[in-house]
Structure 1
Amino acid sequence: MEALLVSTGIVALAEIGDKTQLLALLLAARFRRPWPIVWGILAATIANHALAAAVGQWLSNLVPPAGLHLVLALCFIAVAIWTLVPDKLDTEDAPPISRYGAFMATLVAFFLAEMGDKTQVATVVLAAQFDAFVMVLIGTTIGMLLANVPVVFMGNAAAGRLPLGLIRAVAASAFLLMGLYAGWLAFSS
């Protein structure tokens, strides 16, 4: 249960202000059909984070516990720093105008936008730390949905009022605490 809750919270916080959240806003404005966009986000996130969690599980079986904790500590601290940097949507990340509609445009755009993104890296690290593939996958997916679905439905109205700097600082602090904890585990074992 800890893996589910931590994964949900970490990814939901890290996702606020992320390029995929901006992508959700762009898709909502382009297609004006929220449910196919939400289903596309869900499908893309499950596929992307399943791959990331599988890599995390593989790494946890490959690296000895003390070494894994040290790698996790460094990764969490790196993601903490990365979280403090505001994201922007690059023009090449813009959603394709798809003849297949909102669902396929969202599925493809979100899957590609998440490749190498901080939430994908966080999913790898969380799966390696918790050794709970399903709970991490469910948690990170819920976190993505918590951050992106309101953007799809509310658009830009609420997004401009969120204290993004504070949210980034809280998310970075959470990653830093997990990094320090993993570092403590690496040196105490």
Structure 2
Amino acid sequence: MTAYLTSLFFVVLAEMGDKTQLLAVAFATCYRWQTVMGGVLAATLVNHLFAVFIGSYLTHWIPMEYIQIAAAASFIGFGLWTIRGDDLGGGEMECSYNPFWTVFAGFFMAEMGDKTQLATVALAAQFNTIIPVWLGTTTGMIIADGVGILAGATLGRKIPAKVVKWLAATVFIIFGLGSLYISLPQQVLTLPVIAGGLVLLGWLIYKISRREKIEFPLRRRTL
């Protein structure tokens, strides 16, 4: 249950403001919300099953302590990635093909290498289990993208989520720092190393948050 709830919680955070959530908003401006939700669910089940197998079987070749350190660092990376923000990388959405398979293919490809997929790999490696993490991350994606689908279906445009993204990023970074403190050898955790790491992290947050973001308009659904 711990693996399931942790996976659900962190994937919800990772998906807030992510490009795949924006993609769900965009699809919902073209298609019925039921179709979009079904396509997102199917794509997530396939994609995250692939991710948890990768994360689970890593432990057979790499010592667990190294994987835990890498997973902790990755959560800090997810936090910085969340601050940076995502865009859809293009203009209007095309709405002319089979709705379900269009959503499935678009969402599956967008999730490949995305931070929510990488978070799934990290969680599977950390808990060394498949089914609870798979179900937890899938549930988290459906909850987060359900928000996007509802927004797209009712408003037909992207809803700014700056406060939510900063809250999500803060939780990720705090979790990553705490996990690093537990996982790293004590002889490494000297005062200069800790201070230097925090200064570097603060500088990265400052630089990333200063980056100008481009928002793309989404086509409204034609009734």
TM range, smaller chain: 0.7 to 0.9
Aligned to 1:34: 33
8 Å contact kept, 2:151–2:158: no
May I ask how many residue pairs the two structures share in their alignment?
185
Aligned to 2:166: 169
Aligned to 1:157: 155
Structure 2, unmatched stretches of 5+, are 187-223
RMSD over aligned Cα atoms: 2.3
1:103 to 84, 95, 100: 100
Structure showing the higher helix proportion among its residues: 1
Change (3 A) 1:56 1:93: farther
* TM norm structure 2: 0.75
Determine the C-alpha separation between the residues in 2 that align with 1:93 and 1:63.
44
Aligned to 1:19: 19
8 Å contact kept, 1:76–1:176: yes
8 Å contact kept, 2:52–2:121: yes
Aligned to 2:109: 112
Aligned residue for 1:81, secondary structure, equals helix
Change (3 A) 1:81 1:188: same
Within a 5 Å distance, the mapping from 1:57-76 to structure 2 comes to 57-76=56-75
8 Å contact kept, 2:59–2:125: yes
Structure 1, unmatched stretches of 5+, are none
Percent identity, aligned pairs only, is 37
Determine the C-alpha separation between the residues in 2 that align with 1:95 and 1:153.
19
Query: What do the CA deviations read for 1:143-164 (whole angstroms, capped 9, x no partner)?
Result: 11111123223426397666x2
8 Å contact kept, 1:93–1:109: no
1:143 to 140, 143, 150: 140
8 Å contact kept, 1:151–1:159: no
Whichever of the two has the greater Rg, that structure is 2
